Amino acid sequence: EMQLVESGGGLVQPGGSLRLSCAASGFTFTNYWMSWVRQAPGKGLEWVAKIKEDGSEKYYVDSVRGRFTISRDNAKNAVYLQMNSLRDDDTAVYYCVKFGGAYFDYWGQGTLVTVSS
């Protein structure tokens, strides 16, 4: 059974850092791009970042470029999101998502990040 399990969320002050992790299982991890998508409380979905199968290509939405870094460890079947210089508007549930080519075909349950003083 396919599983994506996120961890690392929590409360952080503005300007702080947090590293999210996502453990993948139930599929051949090295065959797929992976992505992070976030959802602010009561709001819609926003694509954040994606990373190629071998980690050689990474793309970001403008609002996080230069502050967030996506990475992966294929030996551990894991993908990460390092978030620096966090702002209030980064508060959201962050979903780890398997990328099926041009669409988000399997989602984790999400981890909540709250940026507040």
Task: Tell me which residues touch another protein (CB under 8 A).
Answer: 37, 44-47, 50, 59-62, 95, 100, 102-110
Nearer to another protein, 101 or 117 (CB): 101
Q: How far is CA 13 from CA 29, 74, 85, in A?
A: 33, 31, 9
Nearer Cβ to another protein (38/72) = 38
Name the 3-class secondary structure at 62. Answer: coil
- Give the span between the Cα atoms of 22 and 96, in whole angstroms: 6
Closer to another protein by Cβ: residue 70 or 86? 70
Shortest CB 108 distance to another protein, Å: 7
